[in-house]
Structure 1
Amino acid sequence: MRRPGAGEVGIDVAYAGLAGWPYRPGLEVAGIVRAVGADVVGLAVGDRVVAVPGGGGLAEVAIARAGLTVPVPAEVSLRTAAAVPMGLATAMLLLTEAGRFAPGDSVLVHCASGGIGRALAQLVPLLGGGRLIGTVACPEQVDAARESGYDVAIARDDFDADTIRAANDGRGLDVILEPLGTGALALDLDLDLNVAAPGARIVLFGDASGGALDPLPPAGRLIGANISVTGFSHRGLVAGAPQRVAAAIRRTLDLLAAGRLDFPVTELASLADVPDAHDPLADGRGAGKYVVLIDE
């Protein structure tokens, strides 16, 4: 394994988080600093940290930029910390930056049963949100979504614009988080536009469908309804604004350390269990956030 270069940190990985397609395996790790490169300040050998290595984290040793490596408070386990960068921190960025969330806002989350969906269920009420509605891929996921914190959870085959509005007492939603994972963009956005409140923010992220994206709606429809549609890319922030990713990681770690968040994860016992775990992630059946034990 190569030594960390300037501005980099080498980490003995204890746990690594799993993310579904299109992300490269091993984008988040938690463990112990084993070596630091030149020009690294604020981190030392032996520190407990969580990091975004940019891939390759499903290994005994990972290399990450120091700017994307954050100390883990003593009150937070490395097991939980490994789920933060692509889970709680991403959800925080989606809400507060891309979605411009404000206290009292109602929120609609598509694919609510996954890791991001569960993280949002924790954060929306903590940040003072109003009604939280989630859609899930199949009826079997409805109860789990409700148990994770959603006021209303609806299976995809059972909802339309009228159903979603009724779940919010007939009103439109203020923030709509759309991962594009359940159909053509045009169809999903048409539904989202029909359930959006005046001034709503629709956030497109993830591109979980993997297909080519259809054109956005005509500008007149957005202008007339005072609706904004914005994109969000975790990978883009890691590359172009890593300080914002690190700040979100620190903020959520502090909330975990203070006991204000309780983020359950599903632990895989070894790397041998990873391929089977990716199957439900790929087809929308995954429940919550997965981490794999690398080395205790």
Structure 2
Amino acid sequence: MRALVMTAPGGSENSLVREVEEPAPGPGQVSVEVAYAGLNFVDVMARRGDAGYVTAWPYLPGKEVSGTVRALGAGVTGLAVGDQVVAAPAGGGLAEVVVAEAALTVPVPAGVALSRAAAVPLGLATAMLLLTESGRFAAGETVLVHSAGGGIGRGIAELVPQLGGGRLIGTVGRPEKAAAAVEAGYDAAFARDEKLAEAVREAAGGRGVDLVLDPLGTEALELDLELLAPGGRVVLFGNAGGGEVTPLPPAARLLGGNLGITGFSHRGLTVGAPEKVARAVARVLALLAEGRLDVPVTELPGLSAAPAAHDLLAAGRGEGKYVVAVAG
């Protein structure tokens, strides 16, 4: 079968489409004929060799797919060959066939296009879990989202109205991306420059923000804490810049402001609490099936188009969510 293979740490020069052996499902697993595979920044972090993302090279990227069940491993119930599903594999999703845990494989409801469904297992499920599981979002709260123009940022803009609504403020790495974030549903969006703190305070009505969703490592943590309202929370869910993660602030500062800092890892949940991920996936798919949620995606024509899209994500020039049409 054909698969995208990352041969060594680096850039797109080390991402090649190759013939590899088709995987077979083990106990508790299914294999899926991939129709569409979602692209995510985690692929970029793996490609550049960030610690903890790749255990050995060559590496097969891809952590969310939609398609059709091809085979069942021993002990799998509730799924059948031929079912249309989405799945969150540990890797290898940018391929014609991938193996995933059955616990992380969810049927696609009727009426949901597989191209849209491919954006759910990692992208939109992460947005849902950030808001509900880690961020404890309550209707009417003000939320600050860094990297608002990316796939997760767009997903948060789609989901907040479905969770009761609130005020959404976004930050972007490039000033020209601010307008697109507002078009996607943010009440205001600003470039991350020296005027950011003042701009966010004004957009928040002078009272601070209730929840910050931050994929920038600890690069912006001081700013996040400065902008929080009493009782506010920060959720750290990545290290997009790849820089050194600095120590967290002393407890006295958090206690004095009734502030919270929480870490989030989609990968950690898939290993330790897969049922939480599956519930989030099913919840988002139901919203899609009911027509209450829209998922704009940019469809890429085949595996060979993925490295260039990864380059866009790495350079901060990606717009929204990319999915690769693998089948056909």
TM-score, structure 1 normalization? 0.96
Q: 1:136 aligned to 2:168?
A: no
What is the CA–CA distance in structure 2 between the aligned matches of 1:158 and 1:249, rounded to whole Å? 38
Output one character per residue of 1:219-238: Cα deviation in whole Å (capped at 9) or x when no partner. 11111000000100111111
Q: Give runs of ≥4 in structure 1 deviating > 6 Å.
A: none
Amino acid at match of 2:256: G
After superposition, where does 1:35-114 map in structure 2 within 5 Å?
Answer: 35-114=71-150
- Name the % identity: 63
| Preserved CA contact (<8 Å) 1:107 1:131 | yes
Cα displacement (A) at 1:158: 5.8
What is the CA–CA distance in structure 2 between the aligned matches of 1:153 and 1:93, rounded to whole Å? 22
What is the CA–CA distance in structure 2 between the aligned matches of 1:175 and 1:2, rounded to whole Å? 41
Q: 1:292 aligned to 2:313?
A: no
SS of alignment partner, residue 24 of structure 2: coil
CA RMSD of aligned residues (A): 1.2
After superposition, where does 1:1-296 map in structure 2 within 5 Å?
Answer: 1-20=22-41, 21-23=44-46, 25-157=61-193, 159-180=195-216, 185=218, 188-296=220-328
What is the CA–CA distance in structure 1 between the aligned matches of 2:285 and 2:80, rounded to whole Å? 19
Cα displacement (A) at 1:161: 1.9
SS of alignment partner, residue 22 of structure 1: helix
SS of alignment partner, residue 170 of structure 1: coil
What is the CA–CA distance in structure 2 between the aligned matches of 1:254 and 1:159, rounded to whole Å? 40
* Aligned residue pairs, count: 292
Amino acid at match of 2:244: A
Cα displacement (A) at 1:3: 2.3
| Preserved CA contact (<8 Å) 1:18 1:289 | yes
SS of alignment partner, residue 222 of structure 2: helix
Output one character per residue of 1:251-292: Cα deviation in whole Å (capped at 9) or x when no partner. 000000000000101110111111110011112211101100
Indicate the larger mover: 156-165 or 60-69. 156-165
Cα displacement (A) at 1:240: 0.8
| Preserved CA contact (<8 Å) 2:299 2:324 | yes
TM-score, structure 2 normalization? 0.87
Amino acid at match of 2:231: G
Cα displacement (A) at 1:142: 1.0
Unaligned runs of 5+ in 1: none
SS of alignment partner, residue 68 of structure 2: strand
Amino acid at match of 1:22: M
Output one character per residue of 1:194-234: Cα deviation in whole Å (capped at 9) or x when no partner. 11010001000111121221011121111100000010011
What is the CA–CA distance in structure 2 between the aligned matches of 1:137 and 1:158, rounded to whole Å? 12
What is the CA–CA distance in structure 2 between the aligned matches of 1:270 and 1:33, rounded to whole Å? 20
